[in-house]
Structure 1
Amino acid sequence: MEIMDIQQQKSEWKRKRWSIPELRGSKQEWYEIVRELVERIANNAVDMNTTPDLKVTSSVYPWRNYAPFLKGIGVAANKAGLLTITDAGVKFIESPNKRYIADLLHDKYRIFGEILYLLQSEPKTIEDIDELLCREYSLDWANLSNTRRRTDWLEVLGMIEAVGNRKWGLTDEGKKAIQDWPLVSSDVVDHTEENNQDIQITPAPTEIEELLKKLVDNPALHKKRNTYNIWIPSPNRIENLRTIVQYASEKVTRSDLFEFIENEFQLKTSSVESMMPFLKADGLIEEVGKSIYVSTSAAKAWCETGNDLDLLRIMHANKRFVGEMILAAKDDTTRNEVYAEGSKYGMNTEKSRWVMGLLIEAGILEETQYLHVKATGLGKAFAASLPMMSADNVLPENPTTEIENNVDNTPSKNDEKIQLFDALSNSARDPMAEGKASGVAFEENIAAMFRLMGFDAIRIGGAGNTDVVVKWKDNTGKTVTAVVDGKSKSGGTVTHTDISDVAIETHKEKNGADYVAIVGPGFGGDTIKNFARKKGFSLVTDKELIDIALSAKELGLSLDEIALLFKVPNGIPALEELINAQKRQLEIISLVVKTFKQEQEAMDSLSARDLYFLLRGTEISPSLEELINAFELLATDEIGVLNLIKKASPTENTTYAMQNEVQRVNKLRAIASAIECGIE
């Protein structure tokens, strides 16, 4: 029965969340997976780093992958890193039934039961439902994914059923639910502006409150908040970060901590090296002895509460543009506008993107449409509780040591590269973009992207042909070929039914290709991903391609390195790890040069070991091996910024002096410019 009182409807709307978390596994198995998972935690709380042994499915994931959904519907809670059952979970186990899960989903998430109301008059297709929802509830959903996830659950839980012609109608249980559930009418949305005062924010623990109080008592401390890079293993970054902090709750050696993180998340040592400066700079882990680490008291308090807001409070106290980003996205705003605001705080686009990802994961920001974000009601209330920094008060110098890009983070739209990026994104979601035949603009833009990165790429297209052929020479001089299939989808999601493996295999054989990639705006569901993995097809989104192109230029990646994106199954993660490692290498080089500049006058010459002790307490905290590598690189004849003074054994004791650094930089820049002129 629909709620008639407007205030009650507004309260219902504000109380609920937007995004239903993903549940791993086949749709047909969802209900049984939930039932078995809840049964397991009913017996004993489980460590989210472990993996359950499920009888209902052969595809099993760690508990941390299931946790967001179980917590989202309220049947489980996180207590100090352990997943425990709630009263709602106990009630479900006492009498397991699909209707109860449907009740929970409707109680927790917006526009769930309301879909049933739309189907009351007549059956409709998913597209019809999505169009009605967007029109009636003033939604800017860029694709069908939000609607489809809701209808998938309604189908699984027996609320709707297929009635033919791709249409869905109500079941008897669905009709009954309409009578039982309080529904929010579309009329209320037009004048529902979330009032921050209606949302209760859980107070911060004492240890975290003290961090924020320092900013209140001494606003000058805002200027000391860092702008260092963030890197956390995905997916479920907040849960993964909590796992790491929880492991270090007692003192742990550097080697043991590294081994744990490497094994837990299948990372290389270089990736963990890249993560450590962030963990220290953002107040999560501290070094309390030589190579001895422990979680900070604030981080331990966060693990105790299990509240994502407490993590964000710690980060806000230590890093710029965390809470301030919420204010920047108070109203519906493009990502680029938020990134531009972040640059005023010394945060480049990549750093702001990481902060934004965590805010979205915590429910502080929401994606209103493609490339648009907006603060949620929770986000606005949370922002009101934080001491904020004005961009006008930012010091001109950056408080952290990092490599600075010469590229403007908010370039003009006239920039050809940015125009290409925009064209790629637009044509990925508009098959008829630029007034051309279906998919042509997208295919042309894909080819242009690969040419931008240095590949030989040409659009072929047409019936019986691949869309794009990409060629390059590997390190041995052998020509390598890849075929690329572009999938422009107005709905924003490519599914397995959009791909013909027979056609792609034919294209691969016809062009003598070594690799196959499919580029699209997004790829929905496990089916297409499993299919592509089995066939050896790499799935690349337009956003990933843009990010790779940016990193390729910034870091000077080789074609062989960029070509990792074609490799299956771990090519793109390997490329991301490589990019991260190279960025860290540049940061270490910058730090080494800066330290030489500061210390050489007093010490004449320095060794890698000298710098190791000087830099142990910095945010980057390079290892001895990393410093030796940086010294040797800077001392090569080609670069020549460092001059070997006294060779020693072991190598870490070899001393160097810095000389003619400005002239060497000018020389390198002149050579680079000459090469650029030759290839233009």
Structure 2
Amino acid sequence: MIGELASSQAVPPNGHTSLPQAGGLNRYQLQGLVRSGLLSREGSALLPSTAAQAWYRSGDPSLLIETLHINVRFVGEAMHALASTPLTHEQLLRLAREEYDLPWTTTGPVHNRTAWFSVTGMVDLFDRRLHLTDSGRDVLARLALGTPEYADTRVTARLTPATGAVADLIASLDGTELRARADGVNLYIPGTSANGGSLDALHMLTEAAIPSIRDTDFFRLVQANFPKAQTLATARTAKETLKALGLIQRASSETWSATPGAITWIESGEALDLARTVHASIAFFGEVLGELDATGRVTTGALAERSVRYLPNRQRPLSRAAVNTRLNLLEACGLVSRLSQTLYRATPLGLAFKDSLPCFSPEDAPPGRPADTDAGYGPSNRPDADRQGGLSGEEIAAELERAAHDSANHKRLEKVAVAALGYLGLPGEHVGGNGHVDGRVRFGIGAGSRILGVEAKSAATGRVVEQPLFGLADHRAEIGAEITLLIGPGFERRMLREADDDPAIAVIETGLLAEVVRRQDHTPLTLDQLVPLVDPGLRAAQRREAISGFWQAQEVRGRVEYAIVDLLNAEAEDPLEEGGWLDLTSIRRELRSRGYRVGEDEVEEALTFLAWNRIGVVQRSERGYRCTASVHAAGMRIRALGHQWSAAAHHRKVRPSDQEGQP
């Protein structure tokens, strides 16, 4: 099929080609061929690239493989691996994940590449292994190969320039326009997020608004095409999402029409035109790519917490759902890649796209906004101002990420690593100096506490290269430590394997440590829950998953407590129910109706907490449970406990002489 396309004339970019040899390729498959270097865009049409035409005319399969290698990751590199020894598809997948940091979870992408090798005679498959042929070795000798280190560096990507109304949108984005964008809090795109499904949904719904569509017809269109969007409220949210994304606008009191930017995207079929239109319409879209570029790998939870710095019209961060919608759309446009369920990375195309955009900077926020007050806390009322010299969790985490790449000043990372651990409840001190441990911290209190050594390694490239580990045992002996915490932005594969295999070394990536510090203010972990962070029995790659379980449990617990107060309030407001009492069985039934399947013990524990006299928002009797305060009052009382502790810590620091004459 690729050969037939190479011999064809222009193909419309929307994929609705009349060419029988195109095989019904949709626009996303055609765009994939563009990114592979086999098709090129000429105005509103797609044409075979110069390389594709040269291959078709000559019939030389090596030209095809060379073109694919230049434009697609892990083509020549896979051939290089096969040159050493025959491998299975599973072994190639493991190599792609471990050596080249590719986010693949199945062998599908490997099969796609080896299929090219097979049809061109570059490999031979037998005994379940792929064997590189002589012709494959000849082609391999002419390829310039990437390395694992090269895979992490910025690669120049070619951007399709903005045109028409989309170009006008981007040109108009000055500081005022960037601040005026919608917050994009409640976003819902029907359809699946994978395989271009979200783009298909947006394309169909936007195209239906050309020239215009009535409200009722729009709702019917959503309900008819998306099984999970059957309610009127869901269809209305989808419409409001298209409005927020800058794709539709009011044409009358009852009709909507596509915006000029949306029409440009529909005509071009270029995903970047959609991304530009969305960036011009909602806050924290293109800026997400900047966060991924600045901090490397980052989770959706961390992005949600940082989002408040980019929302000049809002005092609170976005929800994870709102951030996930942005990430799914960026992924569908090829601007980010998903490394795990919650971990993302900007692609080379995404980095180039970010550099081409006017973006909002937290430094541009007006005085007193969240960007200047660390997520809403002023310098005098941060709840953690009594710790680490007044630094907030966000400040410590940001310094940790910066110091991790400052290889010219190794003490900077040493000091902030100790400060970060102290913020989590592991007090300690910086030591440093040749032949000495970088720092020491204590895990636990009293006779059961343990001393841990801290070794912090920075690297400008983001990956610490081979360094000897044999001296760490002497450092532990010097301070009476049982375990070494080896902290750095990332580690070269062989060094990481050696450290992970050492039963006295716990490898902690600075990205994870920064995330734990940031989340400690909102989803605090106890020392018992922090054990996976410092457990040398876990490999570095296992720590985030182990800790995520505790975060998730705490978040579920908070949502269940909120739901209990909310449903008891609703019961109290029901005129047919006297007193608003509900027994435990009824409460569990109501929770299940809201999607919470929790055990009886968990519900009773939550009710006991809410009935505690320091909070006192739930009353218990032989009739069951009822609420004595609103949801808002409950939240205020819980927050007040934290302020009381901060006030008590401040009171303890006041000198006795300052208290003379006070009652």
TM-score (norm 2): 0.52
Match of 1:533 in 2: 500
Instruction: Output the CA distance in 2 between the equivalents of 1:221 and 1:549.
Output: 49
CA-CA distance at 1:15 after TM superposition: 8.4
Match of 1:577 in 2: 549
Letter in 2 for 1:605: W
Q: 1:9 to 1:663 in 2, by over 3 A?
A: closer
Match of 1:622 in 2: 597
Instruction: Output the CA distance in 2 between the equivalents of 1:592 and 1:105.
Output: 67
Aligned residue among 17, 21, 36 for 2:87: 36
Q: 1:586 to 1:207 in 2, by over 3 A?
A: same
Equivalent residues in 2 for 1:86-235 (5 A)? 88=119, 92-93=123-124, 96-97=132-133, 100=136, 113=144, 145-146=149-150, 192-195=158-161
Aligned residue among 389, 398, 403 for 1:422: 398
Contact 2:397 2:514 in 1 (8 A): yes
Instruction: Output the CA distance in 2 between the equivalents of 1:21 and 1:413.
Output: 49
CA-CA distance at 1:420 after TM superposition: 2.9
Instruction: Output the CA distance in 2 between the equivalents of 1:347 and 1:222.
Output: 31
Contact 2:398 2:514 in 1 (8 A): no
Equivalent residues in 2 for 1:451-470 (5 A)? 451-470=422-441
Contact 2:80 2:140 in 1 (8 A): no
Instruction: Output the CA distance in 2 between the equivalents of 1:325 and 1:99.
Output: 52
Q: CA RMSD in A?
A: 6.0
Where 2:549 maps in the other structure, the secondary structure is: helix
More moved, 554-563 vs 8-17: 8-17
Where 1:93 maps in the other structure, the secondary structure is: strand
Name the % identity: 14
Q: 1:410 to 1:445 in 2, by over 3 A?
A: same
Equivalent residues in 2 for 1:365-444 (5 A)? 365-366=335-336, 373=346, 376=349, 409=375, 416-417=391-392, 418-433=394-409, 439-444=410-415
CA-CA distance at 1:566 after TM superposition: 0.6
Contact 2:289 2:350 in 1 (8 A): no
Q: 1:669 to 1:325 in 2, by over 3 A?
A: closer
More moved, 572-581 vs 212-221: 212-221
CA-CA distance at 1:645 after TM superposition: 2.2
Match of 1:601 in 2: 573
**Residues 28-67 of structure 1: CA distance to partner in whole angstroms, max 9, x if unpaired?**
99427994324xxxxxxxxxxxx789999xx9xxx96462
Match of 1:553 in 2: 521
Contact 1:74 1:86 in 2 (8 A): yes
Aligned residue among 646, 649, 667 for 2:622: 646
Instruction: Output the CA distance in 2 between the equivalents of 1:105 and 1:350.
Output: 47
Instruction: Output the CA distance in 1 between the equivalents of 2:475 and 2:520.
Output: 28
Contact 2:487 2:509 in 1 (8 A): yes
Instruction: Output the CA distance in 1 between the equivalents of 2:69 and 2:216.
Output: 38
TM-score (norm 1): 0.51
Instruction: Output the CA distance in 1 between the equivalents of 2:558 and 2:416.
Output: 31
Instruction: Output the CA distance in 2 between the equivalents of 1:209 and 1:577.
Output: 34
Instruction: Output the CA distance in 2 between the equivalents of 1:196 and 1:14.
Output: 26
Letter in 2 for 1:659: T
Aligned residue among 648, 656, 661 for 2:625: 656
Contact 1:364 1:379 in 2 (8 A): no
**Residues 123-158 of structure 1: CA distance to partner in whole angstroms, max 9, x if unpaired?**
xxx9xxxxxxxxxxxxxxxxx8225899xxxxxxxx
Q: 1:485 to 1:206 in 2, by over 3 A?
A: closer
> Per chain length, whose mean CA-contact separation is higher, i.e. which structure has more relative contact order (CA < 8 Å, sep 6+)?
1
Letter in 2 for 1:678: A
Match of 1:610 in 2: 586
Letter in 1 for 2:286: A
Instruction: Tell me the number of residue pairs that the alignment of Structure 1 and Structure 2 aligns.
Output: 445
Equivalent residues in 2 for 1:479-490 (5 A)? 479-490=449-460
Letter in 2 for 1:646: E
Match of 1:70 in 2: 110
Where 1:490 maps in the other structure, the secondary structure is: coil
Where 2:123 maps in the other structure, the secondary structure is: helix
Letter in 2 for 1:522: G
CA-CA distance at 1:193 after TM superposition: 3.2
Q: 1:377 to 1:523 in 2, by over 3 A?
A: closer
Match of 1:586 in 2: 558
Q: 1:478 to 1:215 in 2, by over 3 A?
A: farther
Instruction: Output the CA distance in 2 between the equivalents of 1:412 and 1:11.
Output: 59
Instruction: Output the CA distance in 1 between the equivalents of 2:643 and 2:199.
Output: 56
CA-CA distance at 1:92 after TM superposition: 2.5
Q: 1:36 to 1:222 in 2, by over 3 A?
A: farther
Q: 1:501 to 1:460 in 2, by over 3 A?
A: same
Instruction: Output the CA distance in 2 between the equivalents of 1:427 and 1:379.
Output: 25
Where 1:561 maps in the other structure, the secondary structure is: coil
- Structure 2 unaligned regions, length at least 5: 1-37, 52-65, 126-130, 164-193, 220-236, 239-270, 295-302, 338-343, 354-372, 381-389, 651-663
Instruction: Output the CA distance in 1 between the equivalents of 2:420 and 2:515.
Output: 11
Instruction: Output the CA distance in 2 between the equivalents of 1:338 and 1:105.
Output: 47
